[in-house]
Structure 1
Amino acid sequence: MEDVWKLNGLYRPDVVNARFQRNWQKELRSNKPSLFRATVCTYWKFWALAAMHEILRMIVSFIRLITISRLIGFAATYGTEQGDPIEYGYFYAVVLFVMSIEQNVAYRQRWTHAQSVKTLVRTSYMTAIYQKLLALSNDARQKYDLGSVVTHMSIDSENVTTFFEEDSQDMWSDPIHIVISLFMLYRLLGWSALAGVVVMLACTPIMSRIGQIIGARSKLLMSYRDQRMGIMNEVITGIRVVKMYAWELPFIQRINNVRIKLELDIIGKNNVLSAILHSSTALVPLMVLFVTFGTYSLFDNVSR
């Protein structure tokens, strides 16, 4: 094991679990314990670092847009009496180059810290679930089959950590992006920019409904997956009895019924809905641009 790369002490499961358990035990002593609050209290510094780089990336991106606008204006008037000296062009080009590098660096730093949060939170949850499982009594273990435990440790923990990785940052950064972008479009195009807002508002309920359907089907998929894991646990636990009475085919049919007729059916439908949702996400910005500039061109610059 000497040639194996040593894990950073910050990410060791025992260190991560000890740090998380301190806050979780505080929550258990309160009237309304909250797993979310314990997680935030434990890893808020890592999340804050990702948020700081996201803010920096937002600022740099808007500086780039302003610089591009100034550079276009410089190129349009260069060589005329109203044009600026050539030094302005060099300055805009250098600023644009530096801002492009800084935006990429800020994005990579934000992604790195977000991945750190995801890894730490998932490690905490998986370790806590495993410790709880070891401490359960025989009566309590009868209430939880192996399938549900495996689902909690793998699928559920992954879904929760996705929120801390991406969704928690997008919840506050996306509205700021939209507001500032609309403000800049309004200054440039006038009330024609509101046509794009109408398109976004019209598409939002449809995309939200598709997301709700996917979420509901995913919950149903988890229940079927727990059912299949329970059957697999029965087979593995009583493999000698299964072999002695030649029950292989009936158990195979039971597993295939759950896997093929139930799980794969939902997975296929979810994939179709996810494809529609992702296509809509990519199509909506193009529709907004088309409607916004189309409205502006139809009114021949009088909307300002």
Structure 2
Amino acid sequence: MTRKRTYWVPNSSGGLVNHGIDIGDDMVSGLIYKTYTLQDGPWSQQERNPEAPGRAAVPPWGKYDAALRTMIPFRPKPRFPAPQPLDNAGLFSYLTVSWLTPLMIQSLRSRLDENTIPPLSVHDASDKNVQRLHRLWEEEVSRRGIEKASVLLVMLRFQRTRLIFDALLGICFCIASVLGPILIIPKILEYSEEQLGNVVHGVGLCFALFLSECVKSLSFSSSWIINQRTAIRFRAAVSSFAFEKLIQFKSVIHITSGEAISFFTGDVNYLFEGVCYGPLVLITCASLVICSISSYFIIGYTAFIAILCYLLVFPLEVFMTRMAVKAQHHTSEVSDQRIRVTSEVLTCIKLIKMYTWEKPFAKIIEDLRRKERKLLEKCGLVQSLTSITLFIIPTVATAVWVLIHTSLKLKLTASMAFSMLASLNLLRLSVFFVPIAVKGLTNSKSAVMRFKKFFLQESPVFYVQTLQDPSKALVFEEATLSWQQTCPGIVNGALELERNGHASEGMTRPRDALGPEEEGNSLGPELHKINLVVSKGMMLGVCGNTGSGKSSLLSAILEEMHLLEGSVGVQGSLAYVPQQAWIVSGNIRENILMGGAYDKARYLQVLHCCSLNRDLELLPFGDMTEIGERGLNLSGGQKQRISLARAVYSDRQIYLLDDPLSAVDAHVGKHIFEECIKKTLRGKTVVLVTHQLQYLEFCGQIILLENGKICENGTHSELMQKKGKYAQLIQKMHKEATSCRSISSHRRRRWKKAP
């Protein structure tokens, strides 16, 4: 049996704890990692200081705890190291990336896999960084307001400390770059001309030049490491924040699916490039200033001629880079359009093939692809011209400076020329930095504007309360709900006047009010003054005409609407079966289990009660048959029964069924109602929305909705005795059924009489 070492990670690493694990040939016991806040735990002091059990715990250094630990030049290996070696690295190990050496040696000895690669540092994980990004945005909104809040300032505050360190390292890089050409190289050239020079002095000069180059390389690489790690953290935070916002939205009307996909596939990388490459502008500016000063001291005022040539290059590079970025954005728009059309074609491919529309749709996609390819060629041409400029201009600037300097008959020795060229090498490197930095900042600017769509959307308010009374499952008290947030004033008496065709004078209509389903441009909410109490274990039947608010009632329970007045309470877990079945790519069993444990007896019972056994027998591999994307290989009734089976198998306390029998025939519908809804879900709270009125008499409570209001409420016998609208619907249903039976019998008699 192999036993792995047990680790206790300090609080600076975010609270990850490795408990230990025993791995044998036939058994694995123990836990690997568990998130726990050590400072609140009963063993925080004991485990944070295992060397000194009796000593009081040292107070934390705050949010810079891990950074200050990293600033220790040579940090000894801790007794209980963190799972990620980077969290144990000192300053020298961090800057030289020597903490990665043991992992490289391990990869040389044995192949790396998911079990041997150390986990991600908690400081780089999305959970910690998205909380910080969210906090910074809330502070920005509270300080400047939601309209004037700047995402750019939030980005700068997110990397403020690291940006300061990056600027200091950039200045150190520039100083070390010109230190050799100004001071050391001339001394070395003078020493080489001496006949009897001191060997120790010459070796010292060479060592000084070597040391300056090491400082230059170390400063630049450290700046690059800091920028890259900051960009990794920011990308993780932005991706998580945008994904959380999308999950929280009750309706996605402000952003299309193509924009969302493009954001996660393109804009997130643009933000990464902006944070990673944007600080190179600081190095470029610092190198321009320092190189100008050093060149002036080396050669005189003619050095500004070469500097001027480089200054003329920068606007040209910015112009060409912005042109390339503009073409790239146009290309991305065409790519989004092509992806959207392709997705629509693949979604409706069965219909397209039935009507033989393949060639027209293929021509549309080919035209978009041809346009996209031309734009890509334009981008490539502009980028090629930029690259050519980067290599030509430094040589041209040097040649122009030499010609002008010699034409003025100024002094130019080999030592001065060599030192000048060595000093201009810093500007040559800056010329390569400018297009990278400009491209990263320009792309990130447009990505920030799209990211602001996520930021400016307010998080939905969770209005469903947990009921304290265990005998009740659902409670609506004077609940008024809408699909959009509206002014509370629309739910007063003036709304009644509007619905009756009378508008009060001076009444102002809120712009964002959403009307009922049957009147998409009306002011009123979807559900108005709903009062409803559903006892635990009861079957509630919901009926009404199309657009009366039946599906909205289920959405209100699922917290997908906006509560304007009143309250909504729920007691228990929920399972929802929508009108349009949601099917994921995979086989039928995966769609029913949805990641849950496989219980064979319960699984077979669910298949029987949902009338899926006959369908599975017809499929080539039974419930293991791949059903394609969105269930393209299944009929509407099969998808609806799989969706119902998924809900039944989940074993929840409350079931919301939105017309589950609409896509099946009468025989299958009767089987599902008898075996599934009445038998398998006995004892569960069921809210059944249906147009099959013949099943309502088996419900313990029935409500009739009309224009978003509960028109009638009671049992089947009570509502029939009232002889109201519900009774009229039932009588109408019986008359239609009687007429259908008489027509069928008449047709059978005619067929029998036919010769």
TM-score scaled to structure 1, two decimals? 0.87
Distance 1:279 1:110 in 2: 27
Taking the aligned partners of 1:246 and 1:253, their CA distance within structure 2 comes to 13
**Alignment CA distance shift 1:34-1:133 (3 Å):** same
Structure 1 residue 274: deviation in Å? 0.8
Moved more, 84-93 or 274-283: 84-93
Task: Please name the residue that 1:59 is paired with.
Answer: 175
Equivalent of 1:93 in 201, 206, 213? 206
- Note the alpha carbon deviations across 1:75-126, whole angstroms, 9 max, x for none: 23x127xxx6443212111111122222222222211111111111111222
**How many residues end up aligned between the 2 structures?**
296
Alignment of 1:1-304 (within 5 A): 2-29=115-142, 30-31=144-145, 32-65=148-181, 66-76=183-193, 78-79=194-195, 85-138=198-251, 141-167=252-278, 169-259=279-369, 261-301=370-410
Q: CA–CA distance in 2 between the matches of 1:87 and 1:3?
A: 50
Q: What do the CA deviations read for 1:163-206 (whole angstroms, capped 9, x no partner)?
A: 22122x22222122112212222222222223223423444443
Unmatched segments (≥5 aa) in structure 2: 1-113, 417-755
Q: Distance in 2 between matches of 1:252 and 1:112?
A: 47
- In structure 2, the CA distance between the partners of 1:216 and 1:58, relative to structure 1 (3 Å rule), is same
Determine if contact 1:203/1:284 at 8 Å carries over to the other structure: yes
Q: Secondary structure of the equivalent of 2:255? A: coil
Give 1:246 deviation, angstroms: 4.0
Mean alpha-carbon deviation: is it higher for 119-128 or for 236-245?
A: 236-245
Residue 270 of structure 1: how far off its partner (Å)? 0.9
Task: Go from structure 1 to structure 2 and tell me whether the alpha carbon gap of 1:28 and 1:233 turns closer, same or farther (over 3 Å shift).
Answer: farther
The secondary structure found in structure 2 opposite 1:33 is coil
Displacement, 1:266? 1.0
Letter in 2 for 1:296: H
CA–CA separation in structure 1 for the residues paired with 2:362 and 2:254: 25
Question: Taking structure 1 as reference, are residues 176 and 105 closer, same or farther at Cα in structure 2, changes over 3 Å only?
Answer: closer
Cα deviations by residue, 1:245-301 (Å, 9 ceiling, x for unpaired): 344443333222212x22111111111111111221222211111111222222222
Output the amino acid matched with 2:264: M
Q: CA RMSD in A?
A: 2.4
Amino acid at match of 1:114: N
1:263–1:131 distance in 2 versus 1, CA, 3 Å: same
Assess, with a 3 A threshold, how the Cα gap between structure 1 residues 56 and 194 changes in structure 2: closer, same or farther. closer
Write the letter of the residue equivalent to 2:140.
E
More helix by share: 1
Q: In percent, how many aligned pairs have the same letter?
A: 17
Assess if the C-alpha contact under 8 Å between 1:126 and 1:153 holds in 2: yes
Q: TM-score, normalised by structure 2?
A: 0.37
Q: Which has the higher contact order (CA 8 A, sep 6+)?
A: 1
Rg larger in structure = 2
Task: Flag the 1:230–1:20 CA change in 2: closer, same or farther, 3 A.
Answer: same
1:192-230 deviation digits (Å, cap 9, x = unpaired): 223223423444443333223222212212221221222
- C-alpha separation in 2, matches of 1:159 and 1:121: 11
Q: Which whole-Å CA distance do the structure 2 matches of 1:67 and 1:136 have between them?
A: 63
Rounded to whole Å, the distance in 2 between the matches of 1:3 and 1:91 is 46
Amino acid in structure 1 at the alignment position of 2:180:
R
Q: Which amino acid aligns with 1:235?
A: V
Which protein has the bigger strand share? 2
Structure 2: how far apart are the matches of 1:188 and 1:219? 45
